[in-house]
Structure 1
């Protein structure tokens, strides 16, 4: 189930799994399986057993590691919330 994290008044992040990402049309369609998603920062393929974050202000999908780096840099006060979610 997707989790929404409100970062600012009009900014949010969604934590989704590959099935939810496919339903939201993220990634590249592959016949017979979930879409393949690449992290928009490190360009690593996000595996089928991993979750990812969609960040509305950047309109990008990030892997867990890159999302934590982004939060540390831009929204350091949200770090404790992320660890409660993850």
Structure 2
């Protein structure tokens, strides 16, 4: 299962990003991101939306790890 396109992603309040490494979750995890994944996370943190299979899979993995939270589209954006 992946996160639907159009959703946003926010870091969990207990998680933090340092360079290309995400820390946090329960149980605590340390996840090293590739440069491409880091660019995707940066885009999400700037308000970008999930789009495409790779984005969806990364978002789902980070949510499942307790490092991120899904942000549904606003009602007016959802149509």
Query: TM-score with structure 2 length normalisation?
Result: 0.28
Structure with the larger strand share: 1
User: Which structure's relative contact order is higher, taking Cα pairs within 8 Å and 6+ residues apart?
Assistant: 2
Q: Which has the larger radius of gyration?
A: 1
